[in-house]
Structure 1
Amino acid sequence: MQPFTTLTGIAAALPIPNIDTDKIIPARFLKTIKRTGLGSALFHAMRYRPDGSEDPDFVLNKEPWRRAQILIAGPNFGCGSSREHAPWALLDFGIRCIIAPEFADIFYNNCFKNGILPIKLPQAVCDALAEDARLGANARLTVDLERQVVVRPNGEEIRFEIDPFRKRCLLEGLDDIALTLAHADKIAAYEARRRAAEPWAVG
């Protein structure tokens, strides 16, 4: 998993409440277990017209926001069914940070496991950041995870809270597999002891 330290990038405003995981990536695109190639299906119903062409009015189809790395979202973002493809699609598109007043719990947890930083901030603050985002490429936001601040284009720093364990995992790029492999020596020692003590129980 790619570490998340400091990100300075274009932010796109999508302040729509209750965007569920089916809107993030429709179920018909969940046929793969690969984490790549899903960015083209992100927000499919909103990004594309019935004929498959891009909707020019959708924010991620416009310059400079089609290069956004930060998403300013509405409340209850990521609600609906549990699907890890949702953060996969966001990450494949290029989104590394989502800022919203609140997130659905499962989606929120899945973001951390895939290298995306979800930040909870009050609605009024999200509204101000959405206005910043609408200014385009000349008004980039900076997200500093180590210091736990979002820096607005005017220099104002907005502090956010994050669980210390999740913060460490993002800073060091540790997903669940990497966390397990960090204890590989202890796991191997345990398996050796078990083989010696209970050889009949080990295949």
Structure 2
Amino acid sequence: MIRSSEQTLKMESQPQHPVLTAIGVVVNIIILMVMITAIGFGIRHFNNCPVQPCIPIYLTVAGVSTTICIVLSHCIKYSRLQGTVSILCSSLITVLYLFNFGWFISGTVWVFAIYPPNYLPSTGDVGYCQKTVYQFALFLISLWWLLWIGMLIGGICFLFFICAMSVKTRHLSRMYKYNHNAPYGATDDLQGNSA
């Protein structure tokens, strides 16, 4: 069934349940706080990880791109942008999400390639990484991996549930075929048993 733009607009304008809205706001605030912290750590300790100088850059870029994605998503959702502007913003968000995924993989390689680093700088030693920067990057990447794995497992469980319900429904519909000619909606099996 194809919906008209009026039906779609009416569905989008319906208020969500207050609990869902509150949970969404809290989750977005937490994500924004973590990303702003990543930007701060990346900028503040830009030269404090000579063993892998890409780690502070990873934190800064991941923080900025994720923050832009969240802000653009809310701009589209709450400002009711329409037409070309909405399409451009949605396209930009898609490109940023794809970039974030690639950047996440790059960050994983950079962080785990030097695990565990030397946290103490010695004279002339370039084989160290500032402890807070490294541990925050490790925490951020571990958290994202847990979320990705959780979503993957949840998606697989959802697919199994949908398949099981489909098989159950198909089985029940074959088992109780509705006979339109029988009185009071009796099934074929019941009529055959009574005759």
Q: TM-score range by the shorter chain?
A: under 0.3
Please identify which structure carries the higher helix content. Answer: 2
Larger radius of gyration: 2
TM-score by length of structure 1 reads: 0.24
The structure richer in strand per residue is: 1
